[in-house]
């Protein structure tokens, strides 16, 4: 019952029907479900940007299909559409575009190309829930879109994800997979609700870094539920019980969080405008406002000269900066060939991933962030 309620609430935001929405343990599971429903199999090719989270190519590789990466555009951190057509072969089945940091890809052009070659399209909206493209919610245009509700996402259920299916023909295949989902254990439910409580009551400006480091240490070893299981970052075999459903803990958290999304997004838009204005005034790299009308800045990208130093200074001054994406396949920085990616073939993504960090857009007072930037302006590009 509660899951129907949650689906309806999501559907209201996405201006779709609740029966187009499917719920999963994580966003990557939603991606796996739609690829499977599209019939993706060994030898098929899926085109995606070379600036994403490693769990995205993982979902493709779990089906023994091949991720075909495209370098990105420095304007919007999404796939460079000029490279799209030349990467299509007779094995290509899907174009997977992304709204990196909330910024949309140029969807019309992607859809035109996809139509010409009869390819499926999927939008990775893990950063883009709440943003719009040409007056419609992100995720409305492709055959399907998937979303994440992990810790740092537009709204959070700790971990979690959902799928929006726009192509009627795919609804049934996705529905057929519903009974294949593994039910999360009681232990997982308890751990997740404890983490959500800890996040609510224990995390503040002073405890954040210590607890974050502890969380990453524990989750890397699979000692608690983390954003990634250790093996997802070191190999391409599907983890045990990967295809998992959602829990009531996540549904309850999601229902609560959705009621706050509008006001947080107003804040995100205001803060990102302020960052843009500031960066223009200092002649630094910024995101062009024309690209971002009604888009959502989940985080604001910043190019810096010495990332390590900035992170160190920020931690000392209790400024919470993000590290997306440290590599073309975040957070993995070594041995990307295992995922079929050679860094030197993607110079834009490679360079950006060496210099980028992100400013928070959900802070109620961005003066501290802007003052920090002013103080260290020589480190910003």
Ligand X SMILES: Cc1ncc(COP(=O)(O)O)c(C=O)c1O
* Candidate ranges 53-61, 188-196, 265-273, 300-308; the one touching ligand X (CB under 6 A): 53-61
The token pair at 224 is 């608690």
CA distance 273 to 292: 10
Give the β-pairing of 120-124 and 144-148: parallel
Nearer residue to ligand X within complex by CB, 98 or 358: 98
Q: Which residues, in sequence order, are bridge partners of residue 242?
A: none
* Least Å from the CB of residue 283 to ligand X: 30
Per residue in 344-363, is it b (16+ CB within 10 Å) or e — as a string?
Answer: eebebbbebbeebbbbbbbe
* Candidate ranges 22-30, 130-138, 201-209, 255-263; the one touching ligand X (CB under 6 A): 22-30
The reply to whether 124 sits near ligand X by the rule CB under 6 A is yes
Among 80, 126, 140, 327, binds ligand X (CB under 6 A): 126
Nearer residue to ligand X within complex by CB, 117 or 151: 151
Among 6, 14, 22, 28, binds ligand X (CB under 6 A): 28
* Candidate ranges 50-58, 198-206, 245-253, 341-349; the one touching ligand X (CB under 6 A): 50-58
Alpha helices (H) in 202-295, listed in sequence order = 208-220, 248-258, 261-281
Footprint on residues 55-94 left by ligand X (CB under 6 A): 55-56
- Show Cβ contacts of residue 308 under 8 Å, excluding neighbours closer than 6 positions: none
The token pair at 100 is 């990196």
The footprint of ligand X on this chain (CB under 6 A) covers a number of residues equal to 14
The reply to whether 157 sits near ligand X by the rule CB under 6 A is no
* Least Å from the CB of residue 57 to ligand X: 10
The reply to whether 227 sits near ligand X by the rule CB under 6 A is yes
Nearer residue to ligand X within complex by CB, 232 or 380: 232
The answer, yes or no, to whether the previous bond of 331 is cis (omega within 30 of 0) is yes
Nearest alpha-carbon partner for 51 in 250, 377, 349, 272: 349
Nearer residue to ligand X within complex by CB, 173 or 331: 331
* Candidate ranges 49-57, 81-89, 177-185, 270-278; the one touching ligand X (CB under 6 A): 49-57
Nearer residue to ligand X within complex by CB, 123 or 143: 123
CA distance 125 to 135: 16
Q: Tell how far CA 332 is from the center of its chain.
A: 15
* Least Å from the CB of residue 313 to ligand X: 25
Q: Are 340 and 67 in contact (CB under 8 A)?
A: yes
CA distance 318 to 109: 42
Q: Which residues, in sequence order, are bridge partners of residue 287?
A: none
* Least Å from the CB of residue 98 to ligand X: 6
* Least Å from the CB of residue 126 to ligand X: 4
The reply to whether 27 sits near ligand X by the rule CB under 6 A is yes
Among 16, 35, 53, 170, binds ligand X (CB under 6 A): 53
Footprint on residues 158-187 left by ligand X (CB under 6 A): 161
CA distance 11 to 56: 24
The reply to whether 353 sits near ligand X by the rule CB under 6 A is no
Number of H helices, E strands in the chain: 12, 13
What is the contact surface with ligand X in residues (CB under 6 A)? 26-28, 52-53, 55-56, 98, 124, 126, 148, 150, 161, 227
């Amino acid at each position: 019952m509660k899951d129907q309620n949650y689906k309806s609430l999501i559907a209201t935001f996405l201006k779709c029907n609740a029966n187009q929405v499917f719920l999963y343990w994580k966003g990557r599971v939603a991606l796996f479900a739609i690829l499977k429903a599209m019939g993706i199999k060994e030898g098929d090719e899926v085109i995606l940007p070379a600036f994403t989270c490693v769990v995205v190519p993982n979902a493709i590789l779990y089906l023994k299909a091949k991720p075909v990466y495209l370098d990105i555009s420095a304007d919007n951190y999404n796939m460079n559409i000029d490279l799209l057509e030349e990467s299509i072969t007779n094995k290509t089945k899907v174009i997977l575009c992304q709204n990196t940091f909330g910024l949309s890809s140029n969807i019309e052009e992607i859809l035109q190309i996809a139509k010409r070659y009869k390819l499926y399209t999927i939008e990775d909206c893990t950063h883009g829930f709440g943003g719009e493209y040409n007056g419609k919610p992100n995720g409305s245009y492709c055959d399907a879109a998937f979303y994440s509700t992990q810790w740092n996402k537009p709204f959070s259920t700790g971990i979690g994800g959902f799928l929006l299916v726009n192509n009627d023909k795919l609804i049934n295949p996705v529905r057929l997979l519903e009974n294949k989902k593994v039910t999360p254990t009681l232990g997982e439910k308890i751990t997740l609700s404890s983490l959500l409580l800890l996040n609510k009551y224990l995390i503040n400006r002073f405890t954040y870094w210590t607890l974050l480091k502890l969380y990453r240490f524990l989750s890397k070893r699979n000692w608690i539920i983390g954003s990634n299981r250790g093996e997802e970052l070191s190999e391409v075999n599907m983890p045990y019980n990967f295809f998992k459903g959602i829990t009531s803990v996540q549904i309850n958290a999601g229902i609560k969080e959705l009621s706050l999304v509008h006001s947080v997004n107003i804040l995100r838009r205001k803060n990102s405008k302020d960052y843009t204005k500031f960066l223009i005034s200092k002649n630094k790299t910024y995101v062009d406002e024309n690209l971002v009308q009604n888009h959502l800045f989940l985080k604001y990208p910043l190019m810096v000269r010495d990332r390590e130093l900035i992170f160190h200074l920020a931690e000392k001054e209790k400024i919470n900066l993000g590290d997306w994406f440290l590599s073309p396949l975040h957070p993995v920085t070594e041995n990307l060939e295992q995922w079929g990616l050679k860094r030197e073939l993607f110079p834009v993504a490679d360079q950006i991933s060496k210099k980028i960090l992100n400013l928070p857009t959900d802070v109620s007072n961005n003066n501290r962030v802007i003052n920090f930037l002013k103080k260290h302006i020589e480190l910003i590009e």
